[in-house]
Structure 1
Amino acid sequence: MDAAIKAARARNAEIAAWRSGTASPRDVKRIEKRHTVDAVIAAFKEARWPKLKENTRTQYASKLRVISRWAGSERMDLITRQNILAFRDALYAPRDGKVHENTAHGTLRVLRTFWDWAYRNEHITANPAMGDMDISTPAPRQQFASALARNALVDAAMALGRPNMATAMVLAWTIGQREEDLLKLLQSRYDVIESYEADDPAVYARLAAREPDGRVMGIRLRQGKTDRWVGVPVVGEARQQLEAAIAASRALSLTTILHDEERERCWTCKDFDERRTRATQFQRAFGAIRDRAMQDTLKAGDSELAAEIADLQFRDFRRTCVVTMGQRGIPDHLISAITGHRLDTVKKILETYLPRTTGMAMLAVDLTQERAPRQIGRESKSA
């Protein structure tokens, strides 16, 4: 009898803890009181999660956790406009001497989406998050890597014994793909581009003539906007680094072009949580290379270049690809064929980040003269 009473009391304590949300078995969901913010968040996830992509779900989940910490146990229909504005002000308040504007803006965007969904699905009778909330939009990133910065980063990667990471950076600013797509790029995507695939045989001949083996090699990519396969040539030193990276991955019996040299495994995998962990490890590997490049440039006395490198993130190399091609006079639609950007996105990037220089003016005049029709007989007439 004593043992039974003791066991019953322990079970009652477990149930009480479960109801309060302080403890629960992993396979049992926490009970949510009806009409609270947490209860509506649970309903929102159940309705919207299947329709969202993995990355979007991750971003929403992060912001919804912040909202839950703020008001999860409160009745949603009792939260006022003033409560939400106070939450906004708290998000924009400096922490550690810095305003985290991007985090605040992203959280408030999810809050507005969530409250709008709750209103449209009759969880609340009024939407206090509707209308202008005076949310400042963070300035877009403007960083792109100059030629000197790119050289310094590659040199730093090689000095740290990370040639595969050097290839990752070179590919990023050469073919302009997103980090996630580069990390899962398979070796089978690297293939010969045949002459019949060229719109202009003369262009194909020039590309082939520059390669020692006379072959045009490239990476076949499915462009997300058009869902079409495009073969993007990889030439010169970039091709050499790419082939060295493939050889190193094959030696480890890996199928991707890029791999984690420290752990000798792919940067990506099927499990979502593990894939996020590996993505974080990739960012740390890039951070170590960036730090080494900064140190080397500072030792060389170039503080301006060191400051430029310090501001770079791996995602900036996609923009770098667009700007570099723009500086060389490549038309917008050809840039879009490589990077997969929409044409209007390419135009916005170039309008925002592409400096107008004397060198560009010289290139424009040079191309104009080169492509101008020949005026036959003019010389003989003047003579």
Structure 2
Amino acid sequence: MSDAIEGVKPIRRKLASGAERVYYYHRATGHRLPDDPASPAFKAMLDRANREAASLLRPPRPSTRTIATLIRTYQSAPDWTKLAASTRETEQFNINAIEREFGDMPLAAVEQKGARAIFLEWRDELAEEHPRAADGKLVRLARILKFAFDREMIDKHPLATFRRVYGVDRSATLWLPEHFAALNAEARPEIRLAAFVALHTGQRRGDLIALRWGQYDGSAIRLTQSKTGAQVFIPCTKALRTALDELRALASAARLDVEMCPILLSPSGRPWTIEAFKTAWRRAFQRSGITADLHFHDIRGTAVTMLAEAGCTVPEIASITGHALESAQRIIDRYLARTNALAVSAIAKLEARLS
């Protein structure tokens, strides 16, 4: 009978008395089964052993844990549920923003080098318009990641410490000529072009990546900013026109429908994705050896200060960059505060030298 049971191996042994006894073992797992194959206990243990064998043979399921699933876990724990109802209502806006931006990011990626830079850059982009709100979103993300770290869901907390931008003078993050020179010495042509176009237009990374040749008429660029919906008209500098005209001639020679082709392309000749551009930019910046705390979006603020230095009014600057008037004014004020402080320091040093 036992020989007919699939997956069961009978072992016959002769006892000291001379009698023969049969032992039953599950072939796949090696578990010993009850002595009576007709008993309910035998059937139950056989079924359990078969299920165990099937789970051992089944390939491991890929991890489906993402920041979105982490948020669900976090919001079911006392760390969230014990907060005041008014706090949860306010913080839900921050969590919604986090999930929109990073919801599909695997938790394994949170532990990788570069994750911290991605989180900080996101915060800094938001801080262009609303620095306090941007800090609030990063603080909530940091608490969610601490929740995951404390429960050993991640082995590294990339936001264990960070500086807030609200109330901090960000004028020191201007891109100076020596910064661009260091970047251009190490970066690929595609990254150098992106930095050049950003400086000459004052636009955000996402809008530059989406920019098509049809939006450039040979003298100016027209676009609708994805973040604010603002429509901007950007007359091109002579240097920018020259660079774009040369590029469009090359694009026209290679493509039939150049008007719909992106101006900025990856090294493979394909449109950039945000993540691919972030990775390429981060690698170029690391190779450049720049030690200042600079990001791509800081080029936008640098463009504002350059226009101010050229004598442009705040409304003129905002019409080009798409900044709110108060945001453009804030950047200029911080820049002037910085340059005034440098001037005072310079005179003090001069007086000390002459005395």
TM-score (norm 1): 0.48
Identity of aligned residues (%): 26
Q: What is the aligned length?
A: 240
Listed as ranges, the matches of 1:248-263 within 5 Å are: 248-250=250-252, 253=255, 255-261=261-267, 263=268
Residue 331 of structure 2: aligned partner: 349
Residue 21 of structure 2: aligned partner: none
**What secondary structure sits across from 2:231 in the alignment?**
strand
**Pairing 1:330–2:312 present:** yes
Q: 1:11 aligns with which of 51, 57, 67?
A: 51
Listed as ranges, the matches of 1:1-383 within 5 Å are: 1-3=5-7, 6=28, 9=49, 11-12=51-52, 24=61, 37=74, 39=76, 52=96, 57-59=100-102, 108-110=139-141, 137-138=164-165, 139=168, 141=170, 142-150=172-180, 153-154=183-184, 156=185, 162-192=188-218, 217-223=219-225, 227-250=229-252, 253=255, 255-261=261-267, 263-268=268-273, 275-288=274-287, 290-291=288-289, 311-354=293-336, 355-356=338-339
Cα distance, 1:238 vs. partner?
1.6
Q: Where does the alignment leave 5 or more consecutive residues of structure 2 unmatched?
A: 9-25, 29-46, 82-87, 112-134, 146-161, 344-355
Cα distance, 1:287 vs. partner?
4.2
Residue 351 of structure 2: aligned partner: none
**What secondary structure sits across from 1:259 in the alignment?**
coil
Query: 2:50, 2:75 → 1: CA distance?
Result: 27
**What secondary structure sits across from 2:7 in the alignment?**
helix
Structure 1 residues 247, 283: CA separation in 2 closer, same or farther (over 3 Å shift)?
farther
**What secondary structure sits across from 1:256 in the alignment?**
coil
Q: Which one has a bigger Cα radius of gyration?
A: 2
Structure 1 residues 59, 353: CA separation in 2 closer, same or farther (over 3 Å shift)?
farther
Structure 1 residues 348, 246: CA separation in 2 closer, same or farther (over 3 Å shift)?
same
Cα distance, 1:319 vs. partner?
1.0
Question: What per-residue deviation string (whole Å, max 9, x for no partner) do you get for residues 266-287 of structure 1?
Answer: 212xxxxxx4244312432454
Preserved contact between residue 167 and residue 245 of structure 1 (Cα < 8 Å): no
Question: What per-residue deviation string (whole Å, max 9, x for no partner) do you get for residues 301-343 of structure 1?
Answer: xxxxxx6xx5443222111101111112211111111111111
Cα distance, 1:218 vs. partner?
1.1
> Once superposed, what is the RMSD of the aligned Cα atoms?
4.9
Question: What per-residue deviation string (whole Å, max 9, x for no partner) do you get for residues 16-37 of structure 1?
Answer: 9x9xxxx5466899xx9xx964
Query: 1:250, 1:56 → 2: CA distance?
Result: 40
Question: What per-residue deviation string (whole Å, max 9, x for no partner) do you get for residues 173-227 of structure 1?
Answer: 11111122212211111125xxxxxxxxxxxxxxxxxxxxxxxx11111145763
Q: Where does the alignment leave 5 or more consecutive residues of structure 1 unmatched?
A: 70-103, 115-134, 193-216, 269-274, 295-306, 361-383
